[in-house]
Amino acid sequence: MNICVIGTGYVGLVTGVVFADLGNDVVCVDKLVAKVDGLNKGIMPIYEPGLEEMVARNVADGRLKFTTDLAESVSKSEIIFIAVGTPPREDGSTDLAYVEDAAKGIARALNSYKVIVNKSTVPVGTGNFVREVIETNKRRSVDFDVVSNPEFLREGSAITDTLVPDRIVIGAPNRIVAMRLLELYAPLERPMIITDVASAEMIKYASNAFLATKISFANAIANICEAAGADVNQVVKGMGLDNRIGQAFLSAGIGYGGSCFPKDTRSLLHTAQSYGYEFPLLDATIATNEDQPKRFIKKIHAVMGENLKGKTVGVLGLAFKPNTDDMREAKSLDIIGDLLETGAKVRAYDPIAIENTRSTFPDITYCGNAYEVAAGADALIVVTEWNEFKLLNMERLKSVMADPIIFDGRNIYNTDRMRQLGFQYFAVGRGSAVGSQIPNTVGVREFRFVRAEDAVGV
């Protein structure tokens, strides 16, 4: 098929390259000249594992092109994906200006029947909005249909999530249109669900809001565990083994960030309120997430003092999650901002996201690895759970620190081992909070399941 993808961010670029890899002819359109020029030279605007190689392969094979010419791209395509940004407004509602701009461009270039697919995350009712914009602005009497096909990509595994999705959701006005999308996705051989357009739009928001709620629930439980001397890692492990709950998105820490969960939860809350429903559960989810980094920062000051002037603090991890360079709503921004405000000297390292952080914090010291960050540091703060941080030589780390204090915002280390090595170790929800009322004197053991006949001596 001939496909046009409008927008070359995470969603648009990954969508375009995967469809090209499946044998389609794809043109990706963006109005930013520098971005398109970079892509044509093989320079990726984002970091995503495997993306650069896949783009290069499909460009070389002639199946993938990048351009700023929207009109020509639309006129030559059968299916047009809108994958532009949908940023939040101050009140939490979604700004559809880029979607509207794309729809107007499509309308002006319509020369034959097209299927227009909303791939961007948009509020319920956007399908009708796009149809109205195109109807109002089209220059020829040609028919078209608008479909909702929400993405469920995770940054850091976006290509895998596109090639092997849990499900493909197609919200279409009729079955004939749905079959066009079914044909496009058929090579993936994945479960597909066909709904009306509004339901497909709601599925995306409901999914993200539910996952965000799981994270905030785990963090709320962690706060209780911390006060009571329990270990949240063991608690959520016990919870997650219940098939009705599952272990995904139950890791306690300093809260969710990124381009999706914060924006989408606020947008769904705004949508609910616009229909007269206050949605207290989602309101609490958002409030818990906003409070979590504040609690962590308070813990740092409870140990190190309110005034950190003259202290050197190392920060391990800057991106909002591993395997991405995305700094949107990253918790490192809150933590580094507080450290600087209270007088600390900050040293930081992230495998990918240093350049994206430099524009916000140009004056902190950026290092080449974790050991360089730790050199002379009065404390280390783990913000992003990169695998390389899990595998550090802790004896070496301790030997170069001025004071062996670690604040672990992602619970990646073993509490007992860290304390045996001589660290002052403060995690999230693991009975290590300063001022815990009940000390965790018993400890938590992990037991093996054994057969009855092998139980002797266990």
Per the residue annotation, which of 4, 225, 260, 367 is the catalytic one?
A: 260
Q: What is the pLDDT of residue 441?
A: 33
Residue with tokens 């909070």: 433
Please give the helix or strand (H or E) that residue 171 lies within, else none. strand 168-171
Q: What is the pLDDT of residue 431?
A: 76
SS3 per residue for 352-405:
CCHHHHHCCCCCCEECCCHHHHHCCCCEEEECCCCHHHHCCCHHHHHHHCCCCE
Name the stretches of the chain with pLDDT < 70: 432-458
Q: What is the pLDDT of residue 259?
A: 86
- Count CA atoms closer than 13 A to 283's CA, side-chain side: 8
For residues 323 and 49, the answer to whether their CB atoms sit within 8 Å is yes
> Which DSSP category does 447 fall into?
P
Q: What is the pLDDT of residue 333?
A: 97
Single-letter code of the amino acid located at 2: N
Phi, psi of 350 (to 5 degrees): -145, 140
Distance, in Å, from the CA atom of 68 to the CA atom of 71, rounded to the nearest integer, reads: 9
Distance, in Å, from the CA atom of 377 to the CA atom of 221, rounded to the nearest integer, reads: 31
> Which DSSP category does 312 fall into?
E
- Give the global pTM: 0.88
Give the distance from CA 326 to its chain's centroid.
Answer: 8
Residue with tokens 């605007």: 45
Q: What is the pLDDT of residue 442?
A: 34
pLDDT tens-digit series, residues 143-166 = 999 999 999 998 889 999 999 999
Distance, in Å, from the CA atom of 168 to the CA atom of 190, rounded to the nearest integer, reads: 7
As a whole number, the mean pLDDT across the chain is 92
What's the start-to-end Cα distance of the chain, in Å?
A: 63
Distance, in Å, from the CA atom of 420 to the CA atom of 395, rounded to the nearest integer, reads: 11
Q: What is the CA radius of gyration of the chain?
A: 25
CA distances to 26, 27, 94, 179, 189 from 168, rounded to whole Å, are 20, 22, 23, 13, 10
287 Cβ contact partners less than 8 Å away, ≥ 6 residues apart: none
Q: What is the pLDDT of residue 449?
A: 37
pLDDT tens-digit series, residues 362-381 = 999 999 999 999 999 999 99
Single-letter code of the amino acid located at 434: V
Burial of 339 (0-12, 13-18, 19+ CB in 10 A): buried
Long-range contacts (CB closer than 8 Å, 24 or more residues apart) made by 29-37: 29/4, 29/5, 29/66, 29/67, 29/68, 29/69, 29/70, 29/73, 30/6, 30/66, 30/68, 31/68, 31/70, 32/68, 33/68, 35/8, 36/8, 36/66, 36/67, 36/68
Distance, in Å, from the CA atom of 403 to the CA atom of 261, rounded to the nearest integer, reads: 36
Q: What is the pLDDT of residue 99?
A: 97
In 3-state terms, what secondary structure has residue 152? Answer: coil
Q: What is the pLDDT of residue 111?
A: 95
Q: What is the pLDDT of residue 162?
A: 93
DSSP string computed for 208-248 = HHHHHHHHHHHHHHHHHHHHHT--HHHHHHHHHTSTTT-ST
Closest CA to 154 of 66, 49, 82, 52: 49
Closest CA to 205 of 164, 284, 150: 150
- 367 counts as catalytic: no
Distance, in Å, from the CA atom of 446 to the CA atom of 280, rounded to the nearest integer, reads: 37
Residue-range domains of the chain with CATH: 2-195 (3.40.50.720), 223-426 (3.40.50.720)
